[in-house]
Each structure stands twice: as structure tokens, then as C-alpha cells.
Structure 1
Amino acid sequence: MPHPAIAKDHVAVVTGGASGIGFAAAKRFLQAGMKVAIADIGADHLARAAELLTGAAAGGADDVLALATDVAQPAALDALHDAVTAKFGGVDVLMNNAGIEPPSAALGPRDAYERILGVNLWGVINGSQIFAPGMIARGRPGLIINTGSKQGITTPPGNPAYNVSKAGVKAYTEALAHELRNTEGCAVTAHLLIPGFVFTALTARGRSEKPDGAWTADQTVDFMLERIAARDFYILCPDNDVPRSLDERRIAWAAGDIIDNRPALSRWHPDWADKFKAFVEGK
């Protein structure tokens, strides 16, 4: 059975909804008979997405709202909240999905950290804090879905600012879920989406064809909805290259760095490469 928050005439808000996972989610919500608001940046980008979604909506333009929104700015999310309330009333599903991934290194540049944390982490916090109180007050089943990343769990080398932002999303969403389930009369739950390798504009890096190892955004959202129906909190997505069993070993090894006092990021340390390979193979 689908989650009761995902139902005909209910309302979903999706940030980063003009492309990728967010757009795919918005389509699925519309197909479930919901009314959908998408928030993103870039007027042309947003207008094209709104046009496509309107064509897929049973009620046409009456079922779709698109608003340019910088999720790093609380005032922008306040404006989104007011616009959604004015057009649709209360919100049943909030998907804090907006994300960026400019390059970074441990020692800089500072601007990359400020931009990534502003969108990826503060966007999630801002969205949750602005929309959740009204969702709770309604007293009906609701969903908050925050898009994290495996990079926020295993924190591989390469883009530490992105890793920090997604590690923060994990920690924040865990705390949010705990607070919601301990709030009297609250029927809203929080969930952490952890995508695998998904071919989107964020991950394309100049490629026009989907790599064989990647899932599509639609596959990812279908998996997400399946696991939400099962009431999973951690929605750990596989892809065409990495099954759940391998993700589990990688995550367990990352935690083991602390327990066994190994070097930081030992999975990528030359002295530990063979040990990690043996661990993955169950030896």
C-alpha cells in the first residue's frame, strides 16, 4: 500500500524540482493525483519543467506551481510556503531535494563551502523548519523526505565540502525523525533518501549518454516510493554497478575506521587497500 500522505488531491512540495530526482518525484506525485509545487533556480529551466509537469497533471495548471527559490535563504522558503498555502492549502509531502556540487578541497575555496552548505544543508534545515510546523498541526499523515548521499556516510576523498553537507543532512534528518516521533499528535515522519549513482545534470559531467552503471532518476524515485511504502527511514538505493550488499560493506568499513582506530579514510589508504578488498569479499 502506498503511504497515506501520497494520495489524490494531497499536496507535495519538491525543491530542486526542475530536473533530475526532484523532477522525477514531482511527476510521480502528479501521477498519484496530487498537486505539486516545484522550487528551483533559473527561470527558463523552471518554466520548462513547469510546462512539462502541467502537461502531465490531471488538472493542468491548476495542479502545478513553480516558483524560483534559493533554498539557502529562509525568506525565499517563507515565500514558497506562502505561495503553496495560497494556491493549494496545507502540505502533505515535503521533499528537500535541492543540491549543488561545485568542486572543493579541504583547505578551500571558502566560497565553495558556503555555497554547498547553504543549498545542501541549510536548504534542508530551512525547508523543514518552515514547512514542518504546519504539517504537524494538521494532524494527518505527512512525509518529509531529505535527499542525502552515500558520500555523507563513507565520505570519500574528492569533494569534502559536498561530503560535509550530506553528512549534515544525515545527522539532521535522524534528529528530525526522532523529534517528530516523540511529538504528541504528530503523524508526520522524516526519511533520508540515499541515492546511488543516478544520471542527472548534477552527475553528468559533460556526458550526454547515461553510463551503464547508473540508474535513471525515475528508477531512483520508484525505489524511494517503494521503500517509503515499507516505512523505511534509510532509503539506501542501489544502482546498476553497486548492490546493497556492497554498500553495506563499504558503510561498515567506514564505521570500522573509528572502532579499530585505522587511518582516516583507510579504504583509500595504500596500506589498507588489500585489507579492505578482503573485507568486501568476506574474508
Structure 2
Amino acid sequence: MKQFENKVAVITGAASGIGRALATRCVEEQMKVVLADVEVAALQRVEQELQAAGATVLAVVTDVSKEKDIQMLAQKTLDSFGAVHLLFNNAGVGGGSTIWQSTLADWQWVMNVNLWGAIHATQIFVPMMLKQGTECHIVNTASLAGLESGPGNSIYRVSKHALVSLSETLYHELKMIQSKIGVSVLCPGFVQTQICDAHRNRPAEYSKPGDIVEPSPMTTAIDQFIRSGVEQGISPKEVADHTFLAIKSNRFYILPDPSYKEAVRQRMEDILNQHNPTFVIPSHI
């Protein structure tokens, strides 16, 4: 997909971070943009800012974990613009203590947003794209955490590995039917976003009395490591720029920060050599 002018982009998690940067880049490419997010005030601010700049923008409050919200998002997109050409399954939350300390509510919240959000959108938007018969592209925002192995942020890691696999499978299936839909999986390392404060949007249904787990020295150290990494991370704009270069060249794997490639290489070598997993810490963190 090389031509973007007057085409329609749908972006989940569009109110901040990578999603906000993708929205700005879509506007620069003269696309019509549908912004989806669960954070109402932030979503409205982005809509107003982009409209003030002359963009054609529609904001839809969306909880991606709920299929009916994605159905509504798709319908409003069709009602307003008649088609969708570029889908960014970008909404995501961080979370998870150790595997054994994370609560069932923790697992449900993170997996429902990070994995089921992409599943819902894929099942609803892909048939629309196939019916259109036009050139389209889907970008799923996973993470380097979905390509390498390590401790901490456990549910997030599991969800992102699953999202990488979903993306790879979708790529092969669409290629087998010779569709005009391209697929990419975006796997950034640390990025300067609010991912460490994702709990601000955690619904009450996933926050039950007694669910809070006291942090251990290990989980505290890992949390500090992640927060430090995010503070030193690349900008969301850099991620958006790398993403559009990949879309234009129909590239599947998008790794905006090359400093993390050693961790991916080490995991592949561990698998091929049947070695126990190695945790590789990037040298610049």
C-alpha cells in the first residue's frame, strides 16, 4: 500500500502514545481518520486538535475488549466514510506481576484488551476489507516483549507473543487467498508513552476487593527497570515513521529500534540449539 490520500484509517488506542502519533502521520498523508479509544477526554482533545489542523476526523469511544464496541466502530466508520483501508490494532495495556501472583482479574483485563481487542477487530474488519476488494493494510501493535523472553510484566508478555502469532497466521491466510490486504506486526522496544500508567483506564469490573497483590522485591525491581526504559525510549513519532515506511514496502516485521535485535537473535538461537532461555538486557538501559 503506497497511496494514502483520501483513504480511511481506523486507529484503536488513538488518544495517546503510539496511536496518537499514528493519527498525526495519517493526517499528514491526507487520510480520513477514525480515532478509537476508551479514554474519553483525551480522545476528544486529539479529535479537536486534528480537526483544528484541517483534518477529516471521527472520534468513537471504544472499549476494544468488547465485541459490540468494535462492531459499533466499524459501522460508524462505514456510515461516515463508506470504507476502511488501513487498520491499526494499537490499543494495549501493560500489566502483570509474576505468573503466579497475577490475579484472574489481571489476566482477564490485559488479555481482553491486548489480544481479544485485535481478535474482535480482525473478525469484523477483515471481511469488510475483503468485500471492498481494494488495497488495504492491517498493523497490529505487539512489542519486542512478543519476540524475546524475560521475566516480569508477565501477562503483557504472554499477550504480545500471542499477538505476534495471530499476525503471522493472518498474514499467511490472507496470502493464501491472494487478497489485497497486507499485514504487519509492530514490535517496538521501550517507547515514551503512558503504558506504565495504563491502570488509569482499568474498568471497575476488573478491580475487585482483595485483588491487589503486595509487590515483592523482584517485581519492584522489574517495574523500576521498565519505567526507566520507557523514560529513555524512542518517541512515538519515530515509531509512526518506521511503521509507514514498512506499510509502503509491504514489510511484515517492524522493529523501530535496532538495539533490541540481539535479544531476538538470542531467543532464536536458544530455540534452535535447545538451550534454556536467556534474558538479554539492552546495553543502553
Per-residue displacement from partner, 1:199-253 (whole Å, max 9, x unpaired)? Answer: 0111479989x84x42110111011111222221001111xxxxx2x43321121
Total equivalences in the alignment: 254
Counterpart for residue 132 of structure 1: 126
Q: Give the Cα separation in 1 of the matches to 2:271 and 2:279.
A: 12
Q: For residue 21 of structure 1, what is the aligned residue in structure 2?
A: 18
1:55-102 Cα shifts (integer Å, max 9, x gaps) = 2234xxxx1111111101111100100111101111000000000012
Cα distance between partner residues in 2 of 1:83 and 1:267? 44
Instruction: Extract structure 1 runs of 4+ deviating beyond 2 A.
Output: 203-208, 246-249, 255-263, 265-268
Deviations 1:175-217 (A, max 9, x none): 0011111114x21111101112210111479989x84x42110
> Which residue is 1:69 aligned to?
62
1:78 to 71, 83, 93: 71
> Deviations along 1:253-283, whole A, 9 cap, x unmatched?
11233333333x3336xxxx9xx99xxxxxx
Could you list the per-position Cα deviations for residues 22-56 of structure 1 after superposition, in whole angstroms to 9, with x for gaps in the alignment? 11111111111111001101221211111112122
User: Between the two proteins, what is the percent identity of the paired residues?
Assistant: 33
C-alpha distance in structure 1 between counterparts of 2:19 and 2:39, whole Å: 15
Residue 98 of structure 2 contacts residue 153 of structure 2 at CA under 8 Å; is this kept in 1?
yes
Gaps of at least 5 residues in structure 2 are 198-222
* Aligned residues of 2:191 and 2:235 also touching (Cα < 8 A): yes
CA offsets 1:139-159 (integer angstroms, 9 cap, x no match): 111010000101011132011
Match of 1:104 in 2: 97
1:183 matched to 2:177: yes
| Residue 170 (1) aligns with residue 170 (2) | no
Task: Tell me the SS of whatever aligns to 2:11.
Answer: strand
| Structure number with higher relative contact order (C-alpha < 8 Å, ≥ 6 residues apart) | 2
Amino acid at match of 2:31: M
AA paired with 2:238? Q
Aligned residue in 2 for 1:142: 136
Alpha-carbon distance in 2 for matches of 1:57, 1:194: 31
Aligned residue number for residue 241 of structure 2: 222
CA distance in 1, matches of 2:168, 2:128: 20
Q: 1:280 is matched with which residue?
A: none
Q: What TM-score comes out, normalization by structure 1 length?
A: 0.84
Residues 112-261 of structure 1: pairs in structure 2 closer than 5 A: 112-184=106-178, 186-203=179-196, 211=231, 213-238=232-257, 244=258, 246-261=259-274
- In the alignment, structure 1 segments of 5+ residues that lack a partner are 239-243, 278-283
Letter in 2 for 1:162: Y
For the 8 Å contact 1:198–1:215, the answer to whether it is kept is yes
| Equivalent in 39, 43, 53 of residue 42 of structure 1 | 39
Amino acid paired to 1:168 = A
Query: Match of 1:38, SS?
Result: strand
Code of the aligned partner of 2:252: F
CA 1:248 to 1:44, structure 2 compared with 1: closer, same or farther past 3 Å?
closer
Mapped to 2, the partners of 1:57 and 1:94 lie a distance apart of 22
TM-score (norm 2): 0.83
Q: Give the equivalent residue in structure 1 for 2:278.
A: 266
Q: Is the 8 A contact 2:96 2:107 kept in 1?
A: no
Q: Please say if residues 31 and 57 of structure 1, whose CA atoms lie closer than 8 Å, have aligned partners that are also in contact.
A: no
Question: In 2, Cα distance between the equivalents of 1:24 and 1:57?
Answer: 17
RMSD: 2.3
